[in-house]
Amino acid sequence: MAISYIGVGANLDDRAAVLRRAAAALDGYDSLEVKAASPVYETAPVGVTAQPMFLNAVLAAETDLEPHALLERLLAVERRFGRVRRQRWGPRLLDLDILLYENEIIRGRGLEIPHPRLHERAFVLVPLCDLTPRGRHPVFKKTFSELAESIVPTQEVRKLHGVSLLSVCT
């Protein structure tokens, strides 16, 4: 079984409910088990800024799926939730991204691991630090905490209290 870290985000509909249902949907597959979930954070949009605030979190999952199969599973869950890709970095009902898959570095065939913008996004680094603060970026060799410290002051990230994704995962 491999450990993968999956970014989850939403900025449409009942964002917290969408994230809870997405975590439960992912945990419901027999080839993927959600082991931990970060706290949920409210974050400002990146790229296209004229849109609602996001809720973001990171899930740690064990899987026997290979990286490309895991990506297909995530895309299938997004489609099940009604995600339609219209605008890059635009509003979305659900966004699921493979951030890390073990310590692998994969480039090509529609998949980049670690996620190519992981190191520059507080909305991913802050919740990732909650799960693996001493973890190291496989390319940059810095800890996620070191990477987060360099960018968090420039990006809005606020922890939400009372919202948990773990309660739906067994």
What are the angstrom distances between the C-alpha of 21 and each of 24, 104, 123, 138, 166?
5, 28, 20, 30, 11
Identify whether 95 is a catalytic site residue.
yes
| pTM listed for this prediction | 0.94
Residue of 15, 21, 73, 97 marked catalytic: 97
Q: Which fold has domain 2-168?
A: Alpha-Beta Plaits (3.30.70)
pLDDT digits (tens, 9 = 90+) for 123-166: 999 999 999 989 999 999 999 999 999 887 778 899 999 899 97
Residue of 15, 83, 88, 136 marked catalytic: 83
Q: Which amino acid is at 48?
A: V
Burial letters 88-118, b for 16+ CB under 10 A, else e: eeeebbbbbbbbbbeeeeeeeeeeebbbeeb
Residue of 79, 95, 107, 109 marked catalytic: 95
Q: How confident is the model at residue 169 (pLDDT cuts 50, 70, 90)?
A: very low
pLDDT digits (tens, 9 = 90+) for 19-60: 999 999 998 778 999 999 999 999 999 887 778 999 999 999
Helix (H, G, I), strand (E, B) or coil at 119: helix
Residue 170 pLDDT > 50: no
* Structure confidence at residue 101 (pLDDT): 98
Residue of 15, 21, 73, 92 marked catalytic: 92
Q: How confident is the model at residue 84 (pLDDT cuts 50, 70, 90)?
A: confident
pLDDT digits (tens, 9 = 90+) for 91-127: 889 999 999 999 999 998 789 999 999 999 999 999 9
* Structure confidence at residue 57 (pLDDT): 98
Q: Which residue has the tokens 């939400």?
A: 160
Separation of CA 35 from chain center? 14
DSSP-assigned beta bridge partners for residue 56: 9, 41
* Structure confidence at residue 89 (pLDDT): 67
Identify whether 92 is a catalytic site residue.
yes
Helix (H, G, I), strand (E, B) or coil at 21: helix
DSSP state of 66: -
Residue 168 pLDDT > 60: no
